[in-house]
Structure 1
Amino acid sequence: MNLGLDKSREKVLLRGYPGGNLEKIKKCGLDYVKLCKPEIIVLQIGSNDLCNSTNSVQDVARGIIEVAIKLGFCLEVKKIVICQILHRLSPQKRIRYKVDIKWFNKRCDELNSFLSHYFRENRMDNVSFWKDSGFWSERSKQLAFCNDGVHLNINTGYPKYNNGIRAAVKVAMPKTKPGQSRKGKNKDQRESPSPLSPEVEEALIARITESVIQSMNRNQPVEEIP
């Protein structure tokens, strides 16, 4: 999968962790980023964490922001795109992990609204929040999802999702003048970032936590999802 981009100039890597949550991404995904040294990362994370009732929306928001900041500040990724978490549907078959759909979708809306506002308010130049279209009306969800109500189907859901990801990547790509090459240093030439000391990383996480708590305590209104 190369998202229809020029294979001679851009290489797209797809990495997923079935059933994974934010903790697994921090343990495994960040090591993968260190290995590959991508310039742009598009993240679809947080859905499984929202299913866990022991996690508050605030907890999940803090975890997502922490991952984004680690990618940008610690691993020097030039652009990080955080995608909206998608709604779920009532399953049409028996599934292993079932959640109350109204409860989940309400938390999903709260989290998406908060992240959209947070990244806009804090003006993080290398982090953006991407709003997918075509997955929010009941009709579009029925067409896009498998009968488990969680995963996108091959015929409609994934093609639509891939188009959205391609658009997000195109927006994140550096703009070049006519005749100018986008190629810079290759991944072998790019310097490996120096890891943060445990003290600095702990202080960074504490600042993120405080920032999220302060923002949520302002009771920002939930935006309607387009």
Structure 2
Amino acid sequence: MANRTLKIQLFGHSFVKRLKDFVINQEDFPSNLKLRANPLVQYSGFGAGHVHTLKQNLDVVRDFKPDLVILIIGTNDLSSIDKSPNTVSAAIMDLVDTLLFIEQVRSVIVFPILFRKLNSQHNRHTVDIPWFNDRVYETNALLESKIKDCPYQRVRYWVPKGFWSDKALAEVISSDGVHLSYRGQQKLYNNIRAAVVAELKASQLGC
């Protein structure tokens, strides 16, 4: 890695798309995550994206050839009544395997699905919040367990700080009950940076 630039790809649903817009407009939050290695960081986000959306758009991974992928996906899948925590967690793990063994990504970091809060708007994101958040809790527990039990050490589960209490949700989730507020974007950025720093220290990707 010393002879070439580290490549990091954020791959996911609208959170990634909106984070890209955030870093474009914020001098204090550069796209390279403030890392000494000054990596190339690509933000590949798909609005209303499901796991199958990402599998249909693997060409963006193939073209960029990242060393590390940050995977942020699952919330739209869990909104569908016909998908269970078991099927969603299994689909995410299948995507992880595809990234590692088909697309030859060196490491993958999986972010958990975030809770939602009651919204002040009537929009297409409206779901029963206790029902949804219970499914989030179960899916995240399954993901964490599956990743812990992986026989290979190239996938990690990262729990971001500052997103889980009722007080935190009120601060980080916007009025639509789903997407991140300005403060939420800051916290997501900082957590992604922390996850990458930890991965670089623990792996052979370099700093």
Matches of 1:16 and 1:39, distance apart in 2? 18
SS at match of 1:12: strand
What pairs up with 1:54-203 in 2 under 5 angstroms? 54-154=82-182, 156-173=183-200, 182=206
Question: In structure 1, what is the Cα distance between the partners aligned to 2:126 and 2:68?
Answer: 34
CA apart distance, 1:9: 3.7
CA distance in 2, matches of 1:182, 1:130: 19
C-alpha deviation, 1:5, in angstroms:
1.6
TM (norm. structure 1) is 0.74
Q: CA RMSD in A?
A: 1.9
State whether residues 67 and 107 of structure 2, in contact with CA within 8 Å, keep that contact through their aligned partners in structure 1: yes
Q: 1:174: how far off?
A: 5.5
Q: 1:145 to 1:43 in 2, by over 3 A?
A: same
- Counterpart CA distance in 2 for 1:82 and 1:175 is 16
Question: How many residue pairs get matched?
Answer: 177
Amino acid at match of 2:66: P
Structure 2 residue 3 is the aligned partner of structure 1 residue 3:
no
Aligned CA distance change for structure 1 residues 174 and 33 (closer, same or farther; 3 Å): farther
- Residue 206 of structure 1 corresponds to none
SS at match of 2:141: helix
Point out where structure 1 has 5 or more consecutive residues left out of the alignment: 184-226
Alignment partner, residue 43 of structure 2:
14
- Work out which of the residue numbers 42, 45, 65 in structure 2 matches 1:37: 65
Distance 1:176 1:105 in 2: 33
Q: Residues 44 and 157 from structure 1, CA distance in 2 versus in 1: closer, same or farther, beyond 3 angstroms?
A: same
In structure 1, distance between residues paired with 2:77 and 2:38: 35
Q: Which structure shows the higher strand fraction? A: 2
- Using the aligned pairs only, state the percent identity: 32
Instruction: Render the CA deviation track for 1:17-76: whole Å, top value 9, x for unaligned.
Output: 000111111001x11100000000001101100000001111101110010000001111
Is the alpha carbon distance of 1:58 and 1:174 closer, same or farther for their aligned partners in structure 2, counting shifts above 3 Å?
same
CA apart distance, 1:97? 3.0
Q: Give distance in 1, aligned partners of 2:151 and 2:201.
A: 18
Residue-by-residue CA offset, 1:105-138 (whole Å, 9 max, x unaligned): 0000001111111111224311011111111111
Deviation >6 Å, runs of 4+:
none
Which AA in structure 2 matches 1:164?
Answer: N
The one-letter amino acid of 2:34's match is G
Which residue does 1:27 correspond to in 2? 56
